[in-house]
Amino acid sequence: MRNAYIKSVGAFAPSRVVPNSYFNEILGEDVDTWLRENLTIRERRWCSENESTADLCVEAAKAALSRAALEAAEIDLIIIATDTPEFISPSTASVVQHRLGAKNAGTFDLNTACAGFVTAVDVASKFIIADENYTNVLVVGAYAMSKYLDLHDKKTVTLFADGAGAVVMSAENSSGSKGYVTSKLMTEGEYNGWMGIYGGGTKNPLTPEQVQNKDHLLKFVKKFPKELNPEKWSGIIREMTERKGLSTTQIAHFIFTQININSIRATLDILGEPWEKAPAIMDRYGYTGSACIPMALNDLYEKGKLEDDQLIVMMGSGGGLAYAGAIFRWKSK
């Protein structure tokens, strides 16, 4: 009856606050009004010049470890979900392991873009369930996309931001039903060329010409249909709940990728659920990619809204297009 549950949660955002007015000045037009009225975004956090993804991971991890009352040496595995890694190689997870002093932990990075955190939680759950050698797994979703932004590209620079969220996942050996319930991963790879960072890999090794053309920066190549996420998110959620004989009315919190408040609300409308069930943090933090779901989970925790036995859906999506959904029954006792 071994299962995996979320033992603790933590988050971290850089101290540098970037308000919408900053982009009014750079772009020479009023983007503040549109961002507030259409996406609810007022400000976001960006790394300082000397701050990077590993720095964000370490701080979020420390918060989660403290709340779990665990020492770093008690962690068996560290999974970092990011598409803005510290280096191309070696893994960001190895850097974090060393800085934390998690001397007994194996490590790897996982990249499914902004679906990364939920994918990593799914992977961690199955490590714990399948192998008794894994009792405590640290999962961190981290994003430092400000390092890859073109300051004059209105489509990207106003949305993307930096942050990290972490969970400690642990083994539950009782016969109770708390913890991991089910999950679903899917990808529509035909969209792989629509949004991403396309310079710097083996296909397009970084050259001075590429830097001049800004191929090493984030680009929206094609506009995604606005109905795409609501249709896919609602479909995956329905599949997961039906698989386990659940109704969406039983879900206490729906935690979505925080890129567009309208997509979140449209999904809840399709499911027939009230908007209040979906926490939103994009007003304060902008879009933090693979960090946004654990950061929203942390927000719920800090506001005292996570209650024992509640059902929680985490639904992420990101470039690729990759989708990852998971259902957990919250354990706080």
User: Per residue in 252-294, pLDDT tens?
Assistant: 999 999 989 999 999 999 999 999 999 999 999 999 999 999 9
Q: pLDDT tens across 34-49, in order?
A: 999 999 999 999 999 9
Rounded mean pLDDT, 58-85? 98
Distance CA 6, CA 179 (A): 7
- Which residue carries 């803005």 as its tokens? 84
* pLDDT attached to residue 226: 86
Using CA atoms, how far apart are residues 80 and 100, in angstroms rounded to an integer? 13
Q: What is the mean pLDDT of residues 86-112?
A: 97
Ramachandran bin of 28, using left for φ above 0, alpha for ψ from -120 to 50, beta for the remaining angles: left
Q: What pLDDT score was predicted for residue 180?
A: 97
Q: In what order do the strands lie in the sheet with 162-172?
A: 3-12, 162-172, 136-144, 77-81, 106-110
Q: What are phi and psi of 4, to 5 degrees?
A: -110, 140
Q: What is the mean predicted confidence (pLDDT) over 217-232?
A: 89
Check pLDDT > 60 for residue 175: no
* Mean pLDDT score, 202-223: 83
Query: Which pLDDT score is estimated for 207?
Result: 84
Q: What is the mean pLDDT of the chain?
A: 95
Q: Where residue 177 falls among pLDDT bands split at 50, 70, 90?
A: confident
CATH of 179-329, one of 3.20.10.10, 3.40.190.10, 3.40.47.10, 3.30.470.160: 3.40.47.10
Which whole number is the average pLDDT over 225-251?
Answer: 96
Query: Residue 102 has which token pair?
Result: 């998690």
Fold (CATH) for 3-172: Peroxisomal Thiolase; Chain A, domain 1 (3.40.47)
Give residue-wise pLDDT tens across range 128-174: 999 999 999 999 999 999 999 999 999 899 999 999 999 999 998 86
List residues bridging with 110 in a β-sheet. Answer: 81
| Predicted pLDDT of residue 178 | 92
How far is residue 240's CA from residue 51's CA, in Å, rounded to a whole number? Answer: 38
Give 192-204 pLDDT, tens digit per residue.
Answer: 999 899 888 888 8
Q: Is the pLDDT of residue 213 over 80?
A: no
Q: How does residue 182 score in pLDDT terms, banded at 50, 70 and 90? A: very high
Domain with CATH 3.40.47.10 in the chain: 3-172, 179-329
Helix, strand, coil share (%) of the chain residues, nearest 5: 40, 25, 35
Per-residue CA distances from 320 to 112, 148, 186, 283 (Å): 7, 18, 10, 26
Q: How far apart are the first and last CA of the chain?
A: 18
Looking at residue 176, its pLDDT comes to 61
Q: Please check the confidence at residue 333 and state whether its pLDDT lies above 80.
A: no
Specify the pTM: 0.95
For the residues 309-315, what does the mean pLDDT come to? 97
